[in-house]
Structure 1
Amino acid sequence: MQIRVYWILVLFFLQVEADITLSPENSVENSAHCEMTRDEDDERCGAICYPIVKPLLRYAALCQGKDATINDLKDNIREKDVYIAQLKSKIELTNSMEIQLKDKETILHLKANEIVKMEKDIGDREAEIHEKKDQISKMELQIQSRETLMQSKDKLIRELENQVNSLKRTQGKLVDISEASSCLPFTDATDILTIELPGTGPFLVPCNSSVSGSGWTVIQRRVNGNENFNRTWNDYKLGFGDLRENFFLGLEKIHLMTLSQSHELYVQLGNVNGGTRYARYDDFKIGSEEEGYKLKSLGKYSGTAGDSLTEDNLNMKFSTWDHNNGTICPKYYGSGWWFGHCGKSNLNGKYYENGQRESVGGIRWDSWQYDIYRISLTFSQLMIRPKT
């Protein structure tokens, strides 16, 4: 722009100079006044040119200012172009990122679908696991039931094996039934077996080989109050009760057993606290019914319970409430026994579960209880065995 103004001014001055030179007036004046000095020409030229050039100078100065503004604008435009290029780059980057984001969103959507599917699979697996656990629990219950059944079967098998072994042992030791008049031939037997005595048919007796050797025949037992021992003469004669629990074998059988040969008597006792004692006599025998089943012999005593039979019961007839032999003791004590002055013993008395008797009655063996009459024994067992 400055160059164009410069050339405009040059051309303007050349034109002015040409006008001055070619003008008739100037030509005459030049001819007439050829002696003018150069300073005068300058003054004249200045007087003519300045009013014309002044606006042009102002315009040139203005143009110079505009050029600076234009340059600034150009610089600003260049900066804006750079900024626009940067924005375009950022827009392209943003577009690229949007594409990447869309791709990521697509991937996330796919992943979300996979997660949903996996959650469904996990739910199905959990349901399957729960079902399997239920099946396992049922199978465990079945196994436990089977194990219980197997244990029961094993126990039954063992019991059957024991019975078979017992039968084998018994079979190996069988004797002629006519020779078995006691449990002595059944060595080591603790069971209910059959014996036979002269004048009787075969009958069952409990044999015991677990106390003081083998071969004992149990003739009386008390373990609880399930059996009433306040019985008639005929009941005591023939016997009564459950041979595996509470019973009395029968006076007639006991008489016939002790008639043929001498027998030992073993008295086994127990109290409510679990204490046990025994009394043993080496020559036990009772008389016939005609003799009132009198306690005819006891022999020598030994043991830990003390002797509560010899002093008051030896040589006494057996008495019951309906066959009392002139004594009130059977009615007073509510049982059958060999009473003598009601004596110091009565193993057939009323049973008290708590071991504490009332004013009368109870299962007594005073030499162990030291005459403390409120005590009632909770276990008694009379056993006899042939002397060998």
Structure 2
Amino acid sequence: MNGFSLWGYEMRAALRRPAPLFLSFFIPLLLLGLVLLSVYSLIPQNEENIQAAIVDFDQTFETKALVNQLSEDDEMKKALTLLPMSSGKADEQFSNGLLAGIITIPKGFSESLRIGENEPIQVVTNEEQPLSANMLKLLLDSGAMYISASQSAVNTVYDLHIKELSDSGERSQKLQQAILTLTLFALSRNDAFSQEELRSGSRIGWKAHGLLAVLLTVISSFALLFHWFDSKHAPSSMLLRLRSYHITQVQLFRVQWGKWFFLISIIGCVYWGLATWWSNLLSAESTLIILLMAAFLASLIACCRSLITHIGLRMIALLLVTFLGLGAGGVWVPSLYLPEYLSSAAWNPFGILYSLYSENMMGEDFSRVLLVKIIVWTLLLFVAGLLFALRKERRHAYVSYFKRS
């Protein structure tokens, strides 16, 4: 019996016993659905904006511009509703628990800016609404920054230019002009927040990152589950029977690797098609990544099979290696949020696969360095598994592979 015939037998056996394939395919999807439902249930739905009152005792141009800016800014409106009102009404609604906080602009606030002092805006938050109160503080940090920037700019212009003027009337006029100009400039021309298009730690965006995290996790889970279910149908008596047909551990290693590579490739294409609605399934780039991942996972499982005989210990080792690799490789959490010693681990094979998938989704050319790295990983695991299989043959003193008549 040659290797190809044995591979065909293994494939027919896998198809005649569809339960391992069926369970290995649907269990990751079921677990994923349960996790997503649990996370979704923890997210508050239809959450109202934070309600806060703003009381202006100064009533100057600068404070009115500030109140209008905070009240009308588009980004601020998404999370915070500022309600200008009198002090008495604000205290009454705050006592009734209708407000998360009260922002009070003290009298003389604008004058303090003119003379270089920093009269603070008073913010009182409701301890009975801790989440809204903390969010209010975060949102107002931006206001504090551009007010401070405006004051610093006015002081600089005054020290370098205005105070040198001899005419007190002209000096006062220039000071008022600087305050008006720099305050409006600090408000960024009616934008309370200067915005920059960022990907929040994931350069492909959170939606695409989540898609890749799910894809790599379910493919890896399928490979481990199928190996576990399939190993239960390979008792030691079967191995002894195969040996009577001169089937060595090395041949078994190659046959098992070929079976896992083929099945992981097929199931990986199905998962990829489900994830992308079949829109990018037939592209050469996506097919190449799936084949590389299938070859890596097949080599990892085959190497562990040659090294660890006990199926329980083998599965524990595979679970630890796989899930630690996924976690440390920036698959679940973007590498920006990982410790430096993890994010700088450029040789993590799962991180390499994630990077290749990211480049494919962004339409970029594959990095040759990443391709070489994942190929090296696959070859190292394949050769290591092959050497372990040879060592096992020598230990059993079975010579048919080393010496032929």
* Structure 2 length-normalised TM: 0.18
Greater fraction helix: 2
Is the strand fraction higher in 1 or 2?
1
Bigger Cα Rg? 1
Q: Which has the higher contact order (CA 8 A, sep 6+)?
A: 2
